[in-house]
Amino acid sequence: MRRHRSSKIAGLGRYVPRRVVTNAELERLVDTTDEWITVRTGIKERRVAAPEEATSDMAVEAAQEALEQAGVDPAELDLVLVGTASPDMIFPATACLVQERLGAKRAGAADVSAACSSFVYGLALAHAQVVAGLAERVLVVGADTLSRITNWKDRSTCVLFGDSAGAAVVVPSDGQRGILSFWLGADGGGGPLLTLPAGGSRLPASYETVERGQHYIHMNGREVFKFASRIIPRAIEEVCERAGVSVAEVDLFVPHQANVRIIQSAAERLGQPMEKFYVNVQRYGNTSSASVPVALYEAVAEGRVRDGDLVALVAFGGGLTWASCLLRWG
Ligand code: ACO
């Protein structure tokens, strides 16, 4: 029987900055408590990049580990995609900085911008390139330094975020193992719920925009929470249906790590036990584009994913956007 060409993840990498910021430390910065943060979000601590570290630095670290794990030389890469909401600068793309630092001379490079869903969006683009025969080896990175665009005086956002990077090398597979289905979605009408208003062509950076704090993340947490609780179970159901499997057959769910209550609500709605959901939000907070690849990396490293397991990745974020992926590990 002729098997169709698909794609699979051949290697994973991750980088987390050394500096740990605990809830106790935030208690000294804003009017909050360890108890409030723990009960409302599940977060106990997060990592914050060193002053000299930018998104591309973390992306390169994660990428090098993923390439090594995959046994792929950077010079063999056809494409470098970096999913990020906090690029080093507006342009050149962070992916170009990563391409240069890795020595991926043959590769095209571009950023993917879908806020916290960026990595899974990037994975879908990589998969499509490989399946179409346009690329043989694609590096997909999710990296964010949200600490740089967070208002550290705003208790409703600064307790939530952290910095890190995760990476995957995508190569062809024969369809027995690897990526089975995707669902990418967006609701632009919900855009105002989560924005960084200034610094683009609509509202160029000025003294006034800085004075008004418009270079920071602005979020309607309650509405984003409702959206996430609704879309995560829906995105998991859809990606399973597209692959012709039932939700109960999935061995491990790897959701975007924004808030443990969102994950618990998804588990309840799907009628699946929490043990099937990988959670590391307590250690890293919400690391945006890096969240899903870092969680997948750690799940694999901890032996939570075995050869042949069905794994569902699901992300949501500003845009509003969402993206889910079902894959058979191996
Ligand atoms: N410490 C203490 N009190 C706080 C804090 C804090 N850090 N932050 C907010 N509060 C207060 C609020 O002021 C409010 O007080 P009030 O009732 O007197 O007005 C009260 O706590 C409750 O606030 P809510 O916003 O209703 O709290 P909620 O239970 O919704 O939790 C949270 C807030 C954690 C932000 C939640 O809504 C959430 O997780 N939302 C989703 C956020 C998210 O996932 N964003 C990322 C999207 S991905 C991306 O693209 C980056």
Read off the CATH number of the domain in which 44 is found.
Answer: 3.40.47.10
The predicted structure's pLDDT at residue 176: 84
Does the Cβ of 222 fall within 6 Å of ligand 1? Answer: yes
Does the Cβ of 156 fall within 6 Å of ligand 1? Answer: yes
Strands 310-317 and 321-328: antiparallel
CA distances 262 to 175, 235, 280, Å, are 32, 14, 13
**How far is the centre of ligand 1, averaged over its atoms, from the C-alpha of 297 (Å)?**
28
Q: Which of 116, 158, 240, 325 is catalytic?
A: 116
Hey, is 302 helix, strand or coil?
coil
Q: Which of 225, 256, 265 to mutate to test the pocket of ligand 1 (most atoms within 8 A of CB)?
A: 225
| Nearest atom of ligand 1 to the alpha carbon of 156 | 8
Spatial CB neighbours of 238, under 8 Å, sequence gap ≥ 6: 183, 324
| Nearest atom of ligand 1 to the alpha carbon of 41 | 34
Would you call 96 a catalytic residue per the annotation?
no
Residue of 231, 261, 239 lying closest to 321 (CA atoms)? 231
| Nearest atom of ligand 1 to the alpha carbon of 258 | 44
Provide the whole-model pTM: 0.96
- 190 burial (CB, 10 Å; 0-12 / 13-18 / 19+) is middle
Task: Indicate whether 138 belongs to any domain.
Answer: yes
Domain identity same for 50 and 141:
yes
Strand ranges, E, within the chain: 6-15, 19-22, 45-48, 79-83, 108-112, 138-145, 163-173, 178-186, 194-195, 218-219, 252-255, 310-317, 321-328
Per-residue model confidence as pLDDT tens for the chain (330 residues): 445 789 999 999 999 999 999 999 999 999 999 999 999 999 999 999 999 999 999 999 999 999 999 999 999 999 999 999 999 999 999 999 999 999 999 999 999 999 999 999 999 999 999 999 999 999 999 999 999 999 999 999 999 999 999 999 999 998 789 999 999 999 999 999 999 999 999 999 999 999 999 999 999 999 999 999 999 999 999 999 999 999 999 999 999 999 999 999 999 999 999 999 999 999 999 999 999 999 999 999 999 999 999 999 999 999 999 999 999 999
**How far is the centre of ligand 1, averaged over its atoms, from the C-alpha of 221 (Å)?**
5
Domain identity same for 167 and 185:
no
The count of domains in the chain is 2
CB atoms within 10 A of CB 103: 12
Determine what percent of the chain falls in helix, strand and coil, rounding each to the nearest 5.
40, 25, 35
**How far is the centre of ligand 1, averaged over its atoms, from the C-alpha of 41 (Å)?**
8
Cα–Cα distance between 54 and 177 in angstroms, integer? 35
Given 142, 175, 208, the domain boundary residue is: 175
Domain identity same for 111 and 154:
yes
Would you call 256 a catalytic residue per the annotation?
yes
Residue of 48, 24, 49, 47 lying closest to 35 (CA atoms)? 24
Q: Say if residues 16 and 142 touch (Cβ distance below 8 Å).
A: no
Which strands, in side-by-side order, build the sheet including 310-317?
178-186, 321-328, 310-317, 252-255
In which residue are the tokens 């939570």 written?
Answer: 304
The predicted structure's pLDDT at residue 2: 47
Q: Say if residues 132 and 47 touch (Cβ distance below 8 Å).
A: no
Residue minimizing CA distance to atom 27 of ligand 1 = 222
Residue of 257, 248, 220 lying closest to 144 (CA atoms)? 257
Residue minimizing CA distance to atom 33 of ligand 1 = 221
Would you call 116 a catalytic residue per the annotation?
yes
Domain identity same for 258 and 278:
yes
Domain identity same for 25 and 151:
yes
Q: Which two tokens stand for residue 295?
A: 């969680």
Cα–Cα distance between 301 and 82 in angstroms, integer? 23
Domain identity same for 286 and 189:
yes
Domain identity same for 31 and 95:
yes
Domain identity same for 152 and 281:
no
Instruction: Please tell me the number of Cα atoms within 13 Å of 298 on its side-chain side.
Output: 21
Instruction: Please tell me the number of Cα atoms within 13 Å of 138 on its side-chain side.
Output: 30
Q: Which of 29, 31, 40, 314 to mutate to test the pocket of ligand 1 (most atoms within 8 A of CB)?
A: 40
- Taking the CA atoms of residue 74, residue 75, residue 77 and residue 82 in that order, the dihedral angle to the nearest 10 degrees is 50
Spatial CB neighbours of 167, under 8 Å, sequence gap ≥ 6: 12, 13, 14, 59, 62, 63, 65, 66, 139, 140, 141, 142, 293
Sign of CA dihedral 295, 297, 298, 299: positive
Domain identity same for 189 and 217:
yes
Domain identity same for 28 and 165:
yes
Given 175, 205, 231, the domain boundary residue is: 175
Task: Indicate whether 1 belongs to any domain.
Answer: no
The predicted structure's pLDDT at residue 3: 57
Domain identity same for 154 and 188:
no
Boundaries of domain holding 146: 6-175
Domain identity same for 152 and 131:
yes
